[in-house]
Amino acid sequence: MEETVNDRPEWTALPDLASRKFGGTVMWATDELFAEKENLVNPWTPAHRAETFGPKGQVYDGWETRRHREPGDDQAVVRLGLGGAITGVVVDTAFFKGNYPPFVSVEACAVEGYPSAAELSEMDWDVLVKRGAAAGHTENFFEIGGSKRYTHVRLTMHPDGGVARLRVHGTPIPDPGLLDPGALDLAALENGAIVTGCSNMFYSSPNNLFSPGLAAHQAEGWETARRRDDGNDWVTVRLAGAGVVRFAEFDNSNLKGNAPGWAALSGRDGDGEWVELLPKTRLQPDTRHRFALASGPEVTEVRLDVYPDGGMARLRLFGALTDRGHADLASRFESAQG
């Protein structure tokens, strides 16, 4: 992407495959006496209110186990919301200062269907992070850089303690057998699309544009800083595969005084040239706009331009994969089987 993500590793700009907003869930944990395991995949930044005590102690926005008095470790199993190749993981111990695990491990496996936690315990797991040192009240970054597709991850705390969030960043790789190539959202992350560039993401990530469902509030979309020049903001996305876009939906719901005034859409064709899909078009704030596109060429990447700046909740690009696009998607899936 054109803009860096502060001082965090570049791979953290990739989607969080484990996030609850994509359907990720914590299936099982050895213990969750102090704080619930489900907090691990919450999409928002961990929060904390000091001296907020419940019957089991300080209330944490994270997962916390009891203190071990015998040898052993604590584990949690997460089913990813998006199966894909894992580039890096973040074990965030925000607000866990005297009760964080000194070491963590992360494993992953790929399984068809929807196995139970008991069935997963019998599977072979690949080690992604082998007993890595962790610090308290911080984001602990572990680069993976793999290309194999996974559907589940297992976090182990050595021996116990608390973790606020587990972020699993990577590239979604869908199962082509579960997609209709003739009618799908070519820009959806769950269908294999990925953000390739962005002019500005001051307030929120452009990945939000391609998340499932409707945005509940402004922070669940993409919003840029206010421009003070003559330029405009933009984002590019590599489609799930080469395809023909038939309908475009620009949804700026919840964005009222910060919605763009206009938007335009272009696509990269087979020759690598950018062609117009939708000319600069006026938008209304807090509105879902749907446009039928003229019969256009096969494109592999799409660029959304917003004028001059502002926010967009969702971008949907409905259409069909071409034969080449379907073959490429199937090839990516097969090569990621490991």
* Residue the block writes with tokens 């009240």: 137
**Block residue for tokens 């994270």:** 62
Report which residue type is found at 112.
E
DSSP reduced 3-state for 103: strand
Q: Strand, helix or coil at 55?
A: coil
Intrachain domains 10-172 and 180-325 with the same fold: yes
- The model carries a pTM of 0.93
Candidates 317, 327, 292; CA nearest to 184 is 317
Pick the CATH number of 10-172 from 2.60.120.260, 2.60.200.20, 3.40.50.970, 3.40.190.10: 2.60.120.260
- Of 288, 298, 258, 264, nearest in space to 278 by CA: 264
CA-to-CA distance for 314 and 292, rounded, in angstroms?
Answer: 17
Q: Which of 160, 37, 167 minimizes the C-alpha distance to 99?
A: 160
Q: What is the distance between the alpha carbons of residues 212 and 185, in angstroms, rounded to a whole number?
A: 10
pLDDT by position in tens, the chain (length 338): 444 446 899 999 999 999 999 999 999 999 999 999 999 999 999 988 887 878 877 778 899 999 999 999 999 999 999 999 999 999 999 999 999 999 999 999 999 999 999 999 999 999 999 999 999 999 999 999 989 999 999 999 999 999 999 999 999 999 999 999 999 999 999 999 999 999 999 999 999 999 999 999 999 999 999 999 999 999 999 999 999 999 999 999 999 999 999 999 999 998 999 999 999 999 999 999 999 998 889 999 999 999 999 999 999 999 999 999 999 999 999 999 97
Residues 6+ apart with CB under 8 A from 275: 266, 267, 268, 269, 296, 297, 299
Which residue, among 275, 264, 276, has the nearest Cα to 308 in the 3D structure? 264
Which CATH number describes the domain made up of 180-325?
Answer: 2.60.120.260
CB 214 within 8 A of CB 314: yes
User: How far from 4 is each of 38, 179, 272, CA to CA, in Å?
Assistant: 30, 33, 25
**Cα R_g (the chain), whole angstroms:** 21
**210 neighbors 250 (Cβ within 8 angstroms):** no
Domain positions in the chain: 10-172, 180-325
